[in-house]
Amino acid sequence: MSLHWYVTTDVAKTDTKPREVVSGIGVRVVVGMANLNLDIFDHFLPAFLLILFCIFGLSAGTELSFVTCGSVIKLLNTRHNVRLHSHDVRYGSGSGQQSVTGVSVVEDSNSYWSIRGTRDSSCHRGSPVTCGQTIRLTHVNTGRNLHSHYFASPLSSNQEVSAFGEEGEGDHLDEWTVECGGSVWRREEAVRFRHKATDMLLSVTGEQYGRPIHGQTEVHAMQSASQHSLWKAMEGIFIKPSESPAGSRDYGHAHTEF
């Protein structure tokens, strides 16, 4: 029997405390973290990851060397040492959509993203993500996709990055092209994510929010390629390629079964 999981994870902690709207002008509104569509998945994710770690954690020596479609991972900005993060907290300016930030804490289940195909381009479960491939990154705990558009970000006035959609389905502004140096996205390699519609790169330049999310870092999109736009796959569940017919399924649509 072949196993189809490779797990590298921290002991995740679910952040269920109320949060306040992020605002560029200091408006503070308390928002609950509950998500009616994905509340069960949110509740059991940390325990699920811990169980998988206990079962498969000793397979570190044979981990996949590349990132695959269907994997659920954390992404680290290598310049600023923060992980891509979101939560059911909306911007108080700009689009008013769900905010996306960078966090330095490792143990946070709100930093998990699933790798999926687009509406026009499939991403078969377990297949390596190729350099130049266009994907969607779906925030696991809220079911919204990494998104960008021509709104200004709250702190730096670069291009805003948000999370958008419902249950994994948004629009064409959720699509990002993986830029890397070889044929596939290798786990030890820092890569860039270029927003397909606006030609901007997912970036962090170090601006930090005050209250209500003190210490979290702004994530935005910028035109220039630099150290600020490099990201590396870190903790998560990496789906192993499968020789069975089930392993070749299309992962372009939302799928929350593990």
CATH topology of domain 5-243: Trefoil (Acidic Fibroblast Growth Factor, subunit A) (2.80.10)
What are the pLDDT digits (tens) for 110-121?
Answer: 999 999 999 998
Per-chain mean pLDDT for the chain? 79
Once rounded to an integer, what is the mean pLDDT over residues 221-246?
A: 87
- Residue 48 banded pLDDT, cuts 50, 70, 90: low
Q: Which sequence spans correspond to the domains of the chain?
A: 5-243
% of residues, the chain, pLDDT over 90: 64
More confident residue, 65 or 254: 65
In sequence order, what DSSP letters do the residues of the chain get, joined into one string? Answer: ----EEEE--------S-EE-B-TT----EE----TTTHHHHHHHHHHHHHHHHHHGGGGGG--SB-BTT-EEEEEETTTTEEEEEEEEEBSSTT--EEEEEES-S--GGG-EEEE--SSS--BTTPBPBTT-EEEEEETTT--EEEEEEEEPTTT-SEEEEEE-BTTB--GGG-EEEE-SSSB-BTTS-BEEEETTT--EEE----B--TTSTTPEE-EEESS-SGGG-EEEEEEEEEPP-SSGGGG-B-SS-----
**pTM to 2 decimals?**
0.75
pLDDT recorded at residue 60: 38
- Residue 131 banded pLDDT, cuts 50, 70, 90: very high
Once rounded to an integer, what is the mean pLDDT over residues 11-30?
A: 35
